[in-house]
Structures are given as C-alpha cells and as structure tokens.
Structure 1
Amino acid sequence: MIRSPSPSGAEHTDGSSVRLGALVPLTRPGWVAAGRHLLTGLDLAVREVNDVGGIDGRPLELVVRDTAADPERAAAAVDELAGLGVAAVAGEYHSVVARAAAARADALGVPYLCSSAVLDALIEEPTNGVSPARAMPGARGRVARLAPPQSRGWRVYADFLLGAGRRRIAVVTQPSVYWASGTRVLRDHLAPRGGTVLELDANALTPEALCDALVDHGATALLLLVGHPEPAVPIVRAVRGDRRLAEILIGAPAGQPEFAEWGALLGEDGAGIPYLRYLPERLGPLGERVGKELRERLGEAPSFVAFEGWDTVAVLAEVLRSHGTDRAAIADSWPRVVVEGTRGPIRFSRTPGTGVWQWTWPPIQIVDRDPAEPDRFRVRHVG
C-alpha cells in the first residue's frame, strides 16, 4: 500500500484523517508513465490541501492502490478501500479499468471521481439503481468524471483529419471495448462527411504486412489504436521506414506521444503524430503555478494527466469542505460543485449515454511533437 504522508510524516490510523482512495496504474501491463503523472498530481494536491489546514482541521490522506490495468484488480481494490472507510475513490487512467471500478464503487455506495478515463459508458445505467427508461435527469449518481467522453474528443479528432484532407483512414487495432468504441465514433462521424475507416488487426499482421495493406488500400492516415510500447513502437518504425508511405499521416488519438517514453523510444520517428490532449491553449495563473510544481516533482514536463490528478483532489477537497465526508452527501453534491481547476472552471452536469456526472467541458487540443524539435509540442487543432 502507498499512502501520501501527512504533514507530520505519521500515518493516521485512529480515524483522525479523511481518507481518499486512489486507483493508479503503477506496474505493467498498465501505462506506468501515465500512472506516475496521475499519482504525482493527486499527491501534490493532497499536500497543498494539508498545508492550508486539511479538511476542517483533519489531514487528507491518500490511500493508493495499483491497478496494473487489470479491471478485476481495480474492483477488488475498491472493495478494500471501501472497507478502510474512504470518503470517496478517485483516479484511474485506463477506460476499461475505470469502468470496472465505477461499477463496483456504485454497488458499494462509494462516490467515485474518475480522473482520466474517457469511455462513454463508464457505467451502464444511472447510478441510483433506476432503469434508464425511468431515470430522472436530476437523479443522484455516485460517479463523476473530469476527462471528456470519448465520443466528444474523438469527434474533434475526426474533424481534424477532415480538415487536413485525410479521408481514407486506416485504424490498426487490438481487441478492446475502448478501441472498438473509438473506431465506431470515427466511422459514424466520418462516413456522412465522405470519410472511410478501414480496420486492420494488429494481432494478425506483422508491421511489414501492415505497410503492404496501407499501400493496397490507398490509406492517407493510419491511427494507432494499440498498446504502447508494443505493438505501437514497431508499427511506427515500420511505417516511417517505408518509402511508399512517406505521405501518410500517423495518428494516435489515445495520447501515446504525450509521455517522455515515446520520444525516448522513437526519437524523430515519434514526431508529427497528432494526438488528443486535454489542456487549454494557455494555462492561467493557477495552472502555471501547479505546472511548475509538477515539473519539479516529475523531473520533466507534466502531462495533461498530471493536471487531471491535481484537479481531481481540488474537486474532492471542495466537496468535503462544503458537504462533509458522508458518502451520500458527496454523491448528492456533484451538480453543485464549482471549482477553479488548473485548466479552467469545473462544473458537472448529466451527459446522456454516459451514466455519470460529467465536467462540461474540459479543453481539447490536437497536438503533436514538432519534427524540427521533438521535445517541443505543436497545437494542430482546438476542439
């Protein structure tokens, strides 16, 4: 178990602290870089809350569990955290894992604020147990989310592709609810606008065979809907090394190029690959201050995921101060929350089809690494 230390460095096992559970991918096959950034943001915000007196004089304590991108492990962690008396559960990066955590938290009556996962159907039905057909718009829900739903972000990405003149889109994909959902969003948005989507199976094709298929189908863009670093890195190397595909655009909507590991593994080959990033064009004073602190702790530029972590705790701290630590009161508070986050004012509303209280809306950018300077990011499109 990992806990953020209290201001005194002691663990509060006597009930004097207010506990928050945190779900984070810290080991493989989880996306470890994303987990590290998310945890850094969560931990920094907890420390800042405690520096100004905690929650009505009680220290805020982060009780962390490693999900390792495993839905069953995440659900078991929610069980454990609920038993430890956490006021709420927060975090997670992987959408399929977050969905399992959300379902379990809802079943146990524990509020869950999802930091970074985007799958639309984070929970399958309204979280008060009422059937979708009978649910009222104001019905209480225990699950809320900061990241935008996939349908919103990936439609922005599809618009970027159209604006760039890319209409023959190939997606190389692996079996996953998340990748399948993304493919459907792209196809539904592109088809009425003259775009086509060709699916290629990453598990059935070698990188070289994939290149042949792209040439045969005349694809003008290839989107990487696959795991990182395998098989994403070998695919990028193969496509970059194939002269027949010199004009193809490689894209990674899920955000693989955001983290330093991408640049370290691919160098110049990893530049010019647009992806979704949830940051504003320009950070305000709060975002600038937090970004500086995150950079010092991480030893590198903070990703949008680190900012999502900080904003998660900022929201929960405000809820705990204003509405108390009772789980039902926290769940009732989502529609009344107004918090100044690092990326703008945060308010929640019901979004049809998601089953959650959703921040409407986080900023969305399409960004890539500059081919002339791969450590520098370029904003290509704003949603």
Structure 2
Amino acid sequence: MIPDGPDQIIGCLSALAVDAMSGMIAQPSVQIGALVPLTRPGWVEAGHHLLAGLELAVRNVNDADGIAGRPLELVVRDTAADPQRAAAAVDELARLGVAALAGEYHSVVARTAAATADTLGLPFLCSSAVLDALTEQPTEWVARLAPAQSHGWQIYADFLLSAGHRRIAVAADSSVYWTSGARILLDYLAPRGGTVLELDMRALGPTAVCDELVDNRATALLLLVGHPEPAVSIVKSVRRDRRLAEIMLGAPAGQPEFAEWATLLGDDSAAIPFLRYLPERLSPLGARVETALRERLTRAPSFVAFEGYDTIAVLADVLRSHGTDRARTAESWPHVAVEGTRGLIKFSRTPGISVWQWAWPPIQVVDRDPAEPDRFRILHTS
C-alpha cells in the first residue's frame, strides 16, 4: 500500500534500500533521482501511481542482483507541480551524484526539469509528460516514454471525427499545455471539416459554459482544464443542463483515469472519453506487473504506474550495459531495446520532437462504463 505522505514515502524507500542491500552489503548503491508530484497543487493520485511503478521496478531490479551487484536506490523529490521546485530538485540531485533522473507527470514541470538536466549534463528519462517542446533545442540528455502531445491528441481528434463530431468546444485554462492541446486539435480538425470553439475559463463560469455550448450548437465539449477544479464543476453543470442532454464530454488529458474522478462525480464520471497509454492486452510481463501494482495501490493501476515501471526497466538496462557514467548513459538512448510492460521500448529522433522519443507507446481512447463506472471501455485505438 502506498504511504500517505512524502515523509513516509521517503522513509519507506530508505527501508527498501536497506532491504536491497542486505544481499549486496559491500557495494554502494546506484542512485536514481525521482521527480514525483506528491502534494497539492500537484496531481497527488497520479504521483502515487507513478511512484508505485518506479518503486516496484527498483525492487525487481534489486531482486535480480541490482546493477552489477550494486543495489539500485531511488532518491525521491516532491515537485508539487511547481516548475521552480523541480529545477531546484534537479540541481540538488545532480550535486548528490545520482546516475540519472526519472519521473515527473506534469508537462510544464517536466519541461523545466528537462531544461535543467540538459544544462547540468544529467540524463533524464521522462516518464509521463507529453508536451512536444520538452526542451527548446534538441538535446542528447533527455529521453521520453510518453507519446508526444501532438501524436496522442491527433488520435483523439480522429476518434471525435469517427464519432460524428464536427462542432467541438474546448473549455481551456491558460497554460502552455492546454494552449498547445487546443492548437493541435484546431490544426488537425479544421482541414477535415471540424470547427473548434475555445471557451476561456478565466472569463467563464460553468453556467456560462453551458450557455455558450447551446448558442454555438456544439456536439462535444472537451475539458482542457485542471483537476479537480474547474473540471468537476463543469461536468456537473453540463450533466444537469437539459439543453445539453446529447452533448459528449471529453477529457483528452486523462482526468477520468483516476479513482478520485469517480469518487467526486459518481455516475457523472462515466462516458467521458480520455487518452490512455496501454495496449488492448498486456504481455505476460505487463500482467505480472499489473498484479503487483494492484497489491501496492489496493486498486487497479493506471497507465501512469506502468510508465513508472518502464522508466526504471530502461534505466536499469542502460546502467547494467554502459555503467553509471552520465555521458555514456546519454549516448546509449539510440541503442536501447528493452521489453517493457507495454511493448518493446526503443528511442529515436522524431520530427518536431527535441528529445529522444519512444515512437510510439500504445494509445487508446477509453471511458468509464455508465453501467459500471469502475470498468473502462475501449472506444478507439491507435
């Protein structure tokens, strides 16, 4: 079970390192810095899932003789969705001598962490963030597991078109991530006969959003906003407006993935399609990891937990093959070929992407089943 707070988590990880070193007591640990949102305003539930995957993979690496007989150890820092806090953590972890950096869920935070890691010459394998421009210039130091936002959101746009939606509204917060998402949708849908109406959530409340949807005859509303607010309030307002009984709500960023969504919204949490980065059927490795993650989390693991596990699987393979020298780790990205929980992981240079990219992990559009909100339905695949 995941501990309740950052102090308990870090204490738990220290105990984990002691357990791991019991069979490798003469060897110093190989340390990996882990960036995880564990407190508000970060998405704490996503952070717990990411950490569960990272932690489980470390345990499995150490059960298999670690890194050439040396135990692997996580050094965890809570980013709390704060870019400056993340930058300070990367600087600290670099000074502590970690071999590489892993993790982060929030794209804006990961962008700052990636820029700092690039400047310091610290290898960073980003687990979950999708923003295309993770660094301003191409870098050899950063690789990423999650699909780029442009790739995943175009698949979501294909789903909208296949479902017959041409008049689409987006309720958008002001941030580089949401602005980027709205632009991707507009650029993809417009040439294919779609229209995108942007609703500025700095100026509109949930009731005003409903009025805009009616006035513009939108058939779908996409939630490009933070969780839990204003996303939860918007969903409740739309669901209760009889004028909008036929409108589809969507959340490409994945807010409905986590249990908190269902807890806050109940039956209203269902039938809101979102992106999820899982295959239709897990491999034997993925199935074993899913079972272990379910035990740790006491609930079904999200795709973010699998991203955490795969991050450590890749880094452990690189460290075993190339040693702990940071430059050699960065040079190894194009040579990676690791069987992860969701497929064979390889990195390449992808047009428009400034970091080494896994192109691509499996992508689904799913929603919560109205008849059984704890069950997910696959609506569309890449």
TM-score normalised per structure 1: 0.95
Counterpart in the other structure of 1:377: 376
Aligned partners of 2:266, 2:166: CA distance in 1, in Å? 28
- Residue aligned with 1:205, SS: coil
- Residue 9 of structure 1: how far off its partner (Å): 6.7
Q: What's the TM-score once normalised by structure 2's chain length?
A: 0.95
Establish whether residue 54 from structure 1 lines up as the match of residue 66 from structure 2: yes
Percent identity between matched residues is 74
Query: Which residue, 5, 16, 19 being the options, matches 1:8?
Result: 19
Q: Which residue in the other structure is 2:318 paired with?
A: 319
Contact between 2:20 and 2:71, CA under 8 Å: does it hold in 1? no
Equivalence for 1:89: 101
Show CA shifts across 1:7-32 (max 9, x none).
53779999811000000000000000
Amino acid at match of 2:104: E
Displacement of 1:52 in angstroms is 1.1
Q: Contact 1:7 / 1:50 at 8 angstroms: preserved in 2? A: no
Structure 2 letter corresponding to 1:289: R
Q: What SS is found at the alignment partner of 1:6?
A: helix
CA offsets, 1:181-212, max 9 Å, x none?
Answer: 00010000000000000010112111111101
User: In structure 2, what is the Cα distance between the partners aligned to 1:337 and 1:344?
Assistant: 13
Higher helix proportion, which one? 2
Partner in structure 2 of residue 161 of structure 1: 160
Cα shift at 1:362: 0.2
Contact 2:368 2:375 in 1 (8 A): yes
Where does residue 201 of structure 1 map in the other structure? 200
Match of 2:132 in 1: 120
Contact 1:348–1:360 under 8 Å retained in 2: yes
Encode CA deviations 1:298-321: one digit per residue, 9 max, x unaligned. 000000000000000000000000
Residue 333 (structure 2) aligns with: 334
SS at match of 2:346: strand
* SS across alignment from 2:181: helix
Number of residue pairs matched?
370
Letter aligned with residue 33 of structure 1: E
Any runs of at least 4 consecutive aligned residues in structure 1 with deviations exceeding 4 A, and if so which?
Answer: 9-15
Measured in 2, the distance between the counterparts of 1:211 and 1:14 equals 65
Aligned-partner Cα distance in 1 for 2:19–2:82: 34
Pairing of 1:137-216 with structure 2 (within 5 A): 141-216=140-215
Q: Which residue of structure 2 aligns with residue 79 of structure 1?
A: 91
Residue of structure 2 aligned with 1:29, choices 41, 50, 55: 41
Give the aligned partner of residue 40 of structure 1.
52
Residue segments in structure 2 that go unaligned for 5+ positions in a row: 1-6
Contact 1:169–1:196 at 8 Å: present in 2 too?
Answer: yes
- Aligned-residue Cα RMSD (Å) equals 1.5
Please state how far the C-alpha of 1:157 moved relative to its aligned partner.
Answer: 0.3
Q: Give the unaligned 5+ runs of structure 1.
A: 128-140
Tell me the distance in 1 between the aligned counterparts of 2:225 and 2:298: 27
Within 1, Cα distance between the matches of 2:225 and 2:254? 11
Q: Distance in 1 between matches of 2:186 and 2:203?
A: 22
Query: Does the aligned pair in 2 maintain the 1:74–1:101 contact within 8 Å?
Result: yes
The question of whether the paired residues in 2 share the 8 Å contact of 1:91 and 1:116 is answered with: yes
Per the alignment, residue 133 of structure 1 pairs with none
Cα offset, 1:44, TM superposition: 0.3
Q: Find the counterpart in structure 2 of residue 228 from structure 1.
A: 227
The code of the aligned residue for 1:342 comes to T
